[in-house]
Structure 1
Amino acid sequence: MNILFAGTPEPSAKLLQSLCNNERMNIIGVITKPDVAQKRGNKIKQSHVSLAAFEANLPVFKPDDLNSAEFKKTLLKLDFDFLVVAAYGKILPNWMLASPKVMPINVHYSLLPKYRGASPIQSCLLNGDEKTGITFIKMNNKLDEGDCIDKYEMQVRDDHNKVTLEEDLCNLAIENIFTVLSNINQNNFGLLKQNNEASTYCKKIIKQDSLINFEMSSDEIYNKFRAYYEWPGIAFEHKNTIVKIKGMYVLDKNNTCLENEIFKFDKSLLTAKTADKTIVITHLQFPNKNIISSTDAFNSYKEFFIK
């Protein structure tokens, strides 16, 4: 099977590597986002998929404009059965969707039609879902609305965060993508239209999403911590200072702070009162400072929290 692959982040790179390692898969080229100039040091940063393609000696295309005449001419010269897309980051034009001989396929990290859009993993964690999964769809020109080819479910653990859940979903995709492609290639598959009435959409995460307040429930705060673990993290404002929470857990008991208190040190552990229970902040970070433990905060910042 000849495959043209399109993707950008690290999980997509792992999926690409798994396809490269399968002797029945022939990756004829890779599409990824253009390199980005970093603010510091004037260095150029390649995507994870670009680096993986380079290691595998694969042709790489990094078009700024998917509809440019030059890119279109180059791509239409290629001979491939499948276009496999995994978190590429751009909406593909119709001519690209029509370019594979067999089918354009998207690997989406949710159980569609739930969580169409840019942040399905974060949305799953924010909402405290107990299960999630991956969906293979036949792509169309709408956002994650293509007909479903297959779905694979998994349980979400309480200790899953964005990084670990994404890794497990990536492994689930790796375990099943060859079967999906083989079944399609042998015409042993069916297509199921998505129920648009049951669809939900998730937005692109922005830096401002990181802020929490302690009028939220403990579960809301913890789920935000899990969802934004990689970026942008979570933070609170106290005494006109933004403090990042770098480690935390929920105590399964009601808070013991006085009515006008938010923070309390319990044997040098920093606790915070929420709308219901108490959270323990194990690690935190002040602006332009290193990450410190709650014990260090007790020794150096006690008055900041208590007075």
Structure 2
Amino acid sequence: MSSRELIVLGSASQVPTRHRNHNAYFLRWDEEGILFDPGEGTQRQMTLAGLSATQVTRVCITHFHGDHALGLPGIIQRLSLDRAKHPVEIHYPASGQAFFERLRHATIFMDAATIVPRPISEDGVLAETKGFKLSAAKLEHAVDTYGFRLEEHARVQLIPSRLAEAGISGPLTGELLRKGTVEVGGRTVRVEEVGETRPGQAFAFVMDTRPCAGAARLAQGVDLLVCESTYLDTERREAHDHFHMTALQAAELAREARARRLVLTHFSQRYEDTTPFLDEARPLVADVVAAKDLDRIEVPRRSRPA
């Protein structure tokens, strides 16, 4: 099983169907488990996917429309029920503070989990750990909405052929990475001589928006882009009027941003078959997936230099 993958818990938009639950997406990123936009039924979908609430380390809510947030009370209460030992940070638009408070304390329960509210009031970095940074950008919707980007820190990638030329192998390789230099045969070898600084893997979550500058910034160069595609392009005017995208617009975003893999989701209930969504997107993006509930989609790996 990949240590970096997206698990689709729901792929519907405003109205769920027999085959699509309300929104919810779980990103497994090494030791981090980020739950995006938990709509109604998220707890049950997590059970079907083999996930536990205690795997959630962070929740990201793009906006406070019901199909993106009505599952939050159940998740919070389940964290308490299951005695989650770690704090769980919840990122959400600051203008929706009243809605967050209502969802946070929607019913009576034994409040035992450590929930850390992180309201968003502007674009920028929301959190930074040793391994990655999480940032947000404003999107263009009928209410305050933010998209999210998770990006691994850039790192030096050693090139085996250069290591061999420099006579570096075994424990010396680890020392070079730790210290930045190593003594070999009477000379000092710097890590820059035998490696290249490469950007880390990146993931973007763009939901409930028209095409906009914020979406473009979030999607730039990502390995996996999850993007709403509520409509087909025959309904482009309707999509615009309701602050949404079509599959073709999602593909245009992915192509211009050079995203490596595109996941289409948030489908209107009027569409039973998602094949036409793929037909619209594939001429522009080679690697595209129409999300289905309980899909597991790997964050594409990056090739190593020779």
Higher RCO by CA contacts (8 Å cutoff, separation 6 or greater):
2
